[in-house]
A and B are shown apart, each in its own frame.
Chain A
Amino acid sequence: MDRVPILKFGEVLLVTIQVDMQDQMAVQLQSDLGQRIVDTGCHGVIIDITGLDIVDSFVGRTLSTIAAISRVLDAETVVVGMRPAVAITLVELGLSLSGIRTAMNVERGMELLAASAEPVAPPEDSDDALLRTPYSMARMACAENELEIQK
């Protein structure tokens, strides 16, 4: 059975579904992706469904499950590239894909993940204090020692 390839793009895992998936293939993707998140430590997953001409309840449920699994493994999932006809059909079918973030395309998905991954900046006047913690001072001292040893 074919597998859906999972590519690593910097800090993001990119899954492009290009074939009409059998149910078993979707289940396989679910477990493969969980493993890749753990192996790579990536914090973002983009699932590109541009190539899917339908999303039925099984695939919809698989996408929701993937998003839930990823979240537990500290990774955010964005589904991108849904065709308008697929969106119309999904809603009529009664599937809302709750808990899944969506974006128009891979580029927007990357932006969305980058925005949510930005660390909270510390207050400006605390910068010096942060730099001079005993730990960072010890690290700097070690670095200087190493430099001297190299000389």
Chain B
Amino acid sequence: MTASTGTGRLQCQSITGDEDVVRVRQLVRAHAVGAKLSLVDQTKLVTAASELARNTLVHGGGGQATVETIDTGIRRGVRIVFSDEGPGIPDVALAMTDGYTSGAGLGLGLGGARRLVDEFDLETAPGVGTTVSVTKWAR
């Protein structure tokens, strides 16, 4: 699905399986290149997207990612919104802590992803779902 907005390209990718995590990475990479992010920043954003897409799949029971290239006229960047209708995160502060994991992972997903992007916003409610929004700006 592709739709144009006032700010730039916007694309949606549903996340229901392993292969969708790969698709999210590829989609984010394409936007990051288009927004002229440096190679290191592209790598950081794609890595953060990979962590968050996996969270959406594993913890949220699937959901979707919306990738958008933003051009404010002054600066350009890429914003990704991950949303699921899963169980939500009961204790956000705990979930953000490095090394904390509710599953079998390393517990670096949320905290690690936050360090790799410029803006990080998390909204969650138990029983309703989780939405994570991240933005990386071209320097």
| Interface positions of A (Cβ within 8 A of B) | 20-24, 53-58, 60-61, 83-86, 88-89, 92-95
- Min CB gap B136→A, angstroms: 12
> Could you say which residues of chain B place their CB within 8 Å of the CB of A83?
43
Q: B106 near A61 (CB under 8 angstroms)?
A: yes
Select from chain A the residue with minimum beta-carbon distance to B17: A22
**Partner of B108 from A24, A54, A94 at Cβ < 8 Å:** A94
Chain B, 19-59, CB within 8 A of any chain A CB:
19, 21-22, 25-26, 29, 39-40, 42-44, 46-47, 50-51, 54
Q: A58 near B43 (CB under 8 angstroms)?
A: no
**For the complex, is B18 an interface residue (Cβ under 8 Å from A)?**
yes
| Interface positions of B (Cβ within 8 A of A) | 18-19, 21-22, 25-26, 29, 39-40, 42-44, 46-47, 50-51, 54, 98, 105-106, 108-109, 111-113, 115-116
In the assembled complex, the Cα of A78 lies from the Cα of B21 at a distance in Å of: 27
Supposing A54-B46, A56-B50 touch, asked if A95 and B106 sit within 8 A by C-beta, the answer is yes
Our count of residue pairs bridging A and B at CB distance below 8 angstroms stands at 71
Instruction: List, sorted by A's number, 10 A–B pairs whose CB atoms are closer than 8 Å.
Output: A20-B26, A22-B22, A23-B21, A24-B18, A53-B46, A57-B108, A61-B105, A84-B40, A85-B39, A95-B112
- Min CB gap B4→A, angstroms: 27
- Min CB gap A127→B, angstroms: 51
> Could you say which residues of chain A place their CB within 8 Å of the CB of B116?
89, 92-93
* 7 closest Cβ pairs, A-B complex: A85-B43, A93-B112, A56-B50, A22-B18, A57-B108, A85-B40, A54-B47
Select from chain B the residue with minimum beta-carbon distance to A88: B40
> Could you say which residues of chain B place their CB within 8 Å of the CB of A88?
40, 43-44
- Min CB gap A140→B, angstroms: 56
Q: A22 near B21 (CB under 8 angstroms)?
A: yes
In the assembled complex, the Cα of A32 lies from the Cα of B72 at a distance in Å of: 49
Supposing A22-B21, A57-B112, A92-B115 touch, asked if A86 and B43 sit within 8 A by C-beta, the answer is yes
